[in-house]
């Protein structure tokens, strides 16, 4: 409680980044610091976005000015991402082209706006947002275009995580040590991880036990959204059964 009181007292004077550094120097764990930061966002006298940093993100650039439809599903997804919800893995499933990826990316994009949006108090905040997709092509301007790179293995996902978190030690570690390195890196901040087109990852959605085993053990503060044409029965499900309506 003393740490929380001191942090709140310094918050408006030096900002959240320096407060976090001081807490780390005092030996607090990432989990303890994360708990304290929840109090900081509530007790600071300045707007919430003064206390939080711009998130690291590799989200694809959106080419629309307004996201239309799927209001109910988007609200459900934002609710799932709230730190107050214990569930940490959600699968969006539905037929190809129904909007699974667009929905996941829009929810994540709105969370990145918690840094500056005037309605940021209503949005979950993640320090990092990581997008990995096994799609080999995408639809853009009514044309199917090839993706320059796709992530189809767990090692590919680790590579993207290391790039977004700027932690090259992950890929430099021996293969048998990489999972622990990833967990350690994720544990240093709150992270939203999107795994897109799960059914086309090597092994497919049903038998890629390596990927699912990795997701089962992601550290507290990390949440994962999966998209798939196949309902896999894992954790929370959000089915897109028809074309979205406003």
What is the C-alpha to C-alpha distance for residues 126 and 58, in angstroms, rounded to an integer?
Answer: 13
Bridging pattern class, strands 89-94 and 222-228: parallel
How do residues 22-38 score in pLDDT, each as one tens digit? 777 877 777 676 666 65
**Higher per-residue confidence, 11 vs 225:** 225
Give the DSSP letter of residue 69: S
Residue 39 or 102, more confident: 102
Q: Is the pLDDT of residue 13 over 60?
A: no
pLDDT attached to residue 20: 72
Residue 157: count of CB within 10 angstroms of its CB: 21
Question: What whole-number distance in Å separates Cα of residue 79 and Cα of residue 73?
Answer: 10
Closest among 130, 134, 131, 132 to 152, alpha carbons compared: 134
Mean pLDDT of the chain: 79
Helix, strand, or coil here: 111?
Answer: helix
Q: Tell me, what's the pLDDT at 181?
A: 96
Which pLDDT score is estimated for 202? 76
pTM for the structure as a whole: 0.75
pLDDT value of residue 139: 66
Estimate the crossing angle of helix 2-14 against helix 16-25, to 10 degrees: 140
pLDDT in tens, 147-206: 777 888 899 999 999 999 999 999 999 999 999 999 999 999 899 999 999 888 876 544
């Amino acid at each position: 409680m003393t740490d929380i009181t001191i942090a709140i007292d310094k918050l408006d004077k030096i900002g959240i980044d320096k407060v976090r550094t001081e807490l780390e120097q005092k030996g607090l764990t990432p989990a303890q610091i994360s708990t304290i930061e929840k109090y900081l966002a509530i007790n600071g006298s300045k707007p919430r976005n003064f206390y939080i940093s711009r998130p690291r993100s590799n989200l694809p650039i959106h080419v629309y000015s307004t996201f239309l439809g799927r209001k109910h599903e988007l609200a459900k997804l934002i609710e799932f991402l709230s730190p107050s919800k214990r569930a940490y893995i959600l699968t969006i499933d539905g037929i190809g082209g129904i909007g699974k990826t667009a929905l996941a990316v829009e929810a994540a994009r709105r969370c990145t706006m918690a840094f500056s949006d005037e309605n940021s108090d209503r949005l979950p905040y993640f320090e990092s947002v990581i997008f990995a997709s096994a799609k080999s092509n995408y639809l853009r301007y009514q044309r199917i275009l090839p993706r320059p790179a796709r992530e189809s293995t767990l090692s590919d996902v680790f590579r993207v995580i290391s790039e977004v978190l700027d932690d090259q030690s992950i890929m430099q570690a021996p293969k048998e040590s990489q999972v622990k390195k990833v967990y350690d890196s994720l544990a240093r901040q709150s992270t939203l991880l999107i795994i897109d087109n799960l059914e086309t990852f090597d092994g497919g959605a049903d038998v890629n036990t390596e990927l699912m085993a990795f997701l089962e053990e992601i550290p507290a503060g990390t949440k994962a959204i999966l998209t798939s044409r196949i309902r896999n029965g894992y954790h929370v499900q959000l089915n897109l059964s028809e074309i979205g309506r406003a």
